[in-house]
Amino acid sequence: MRIVIVGMPGAGKGTHAAALRARLKIPQISTGDMLRAAVAAGTARGREAAGYMKRGELVPDRQVVELVRERVMEADCAGGFILDGFPRTLEQALALRGAGVGIDIVLELHVPDEEVIERMTGRRTHLPSGRVYHVTRNPPKVPGADDITGEPLSVRADDAEDTVRNRIASYHAQTGPLLDYYRRQAAGEPGAPRYVRVDGSGSVAASRARVFAALGIA
């Protein structure tokens, strides 16, 4: 099963990808992780990517797609794979298809904007350890303090409300055409990926059950 997971920041892509990876025994592929690994390994592609990253620029789609193409040809992807949050744009999807990377299912995790805002702005992080809490969903024992050390928790810049709203607006602008493309493919093109839209709201357990049911996973 070759799966692409699409959804807003905070929709649970990584969480559900990890659950699918464990259940289906197929790799979860993150383009960010692959880029960082290529940079750390000092490969030619990694050195090129590092140049863009140091300048604060996005790594070009052609390079990211080539990394994905090479990754899915590895032996552990023979039974399928999960692309976590890529492609994000129509251009990336077209490039992926042009590179010969086949997809079986496009899974859209739909969560209302206001719930995404509540999820992300409620996060509190213990920066030294990376432990993450939520003011209502996973509160610390003492408000504002890490359970282990008692040190103060922080709101990451990415979780500030203005930043979250900007990321949501960017998602809709970039990903709307991508989802339309996959819907049209699924509706009228033989052999196209199946398009599955799942309600990702509510608890992790409830949304995970809906994901598994939609994909026919026991």
3-state secondary structure 71-93: HHCCHHHCCCEEEECCCCCHHHH
Domain with 100, as residue range(s), is: 2-214
pLDDT of residue 51: 84
How, if at all, do strands 105-110 and 123-126 pair?
Answer: unpaired
- Determine the pLDDT at residue 67: 87
Q: Write down the pTM of the prediction.
A: 0.86
Question: According to the model, what pLDDT value does residue 40 have?
Answer: 87
Phi-psi region of 85 (alpha: psi -120 to 50; beta: other; left: phi over 0): left
Query: What is the arithmetic mean of pLDDT over 168-192?
Result: 92
- Check if 13 is active-site: yes
Q: Which of the residues 13, 119, 124, 208 is marked catalytic? A: 13
User: Pick the catalytic residue: 45, 123, 124, 208?
Assistant: 123
Bridge partners of residue 211, in order along the sequence: none
Amino acid at the residue 137: R
Catalytic, 156? Answer: yes
Number of domains in the chain: 1
* Catalytic status, residue 123: yes
The yes-or-no verdict on residue 111 having pLDDT over 80 is: yes
Number of H helices, E strands in the chain: 8, 7
CA distance 173 to 109: 17
Q: Give the tens place of pLDDT for each residue, 48-103.
A: 888 888 887 878 888 889 889 988 999 999 999 999 889 989 999 999 999 999 99
Options 2, 23, 88, 197, the catalytic residue? 88
Q: What CATH number should be reported for the domain holding residue 169? A: 3.40.50.300
Catalytic residue among 2, 167, 194, 197: 167
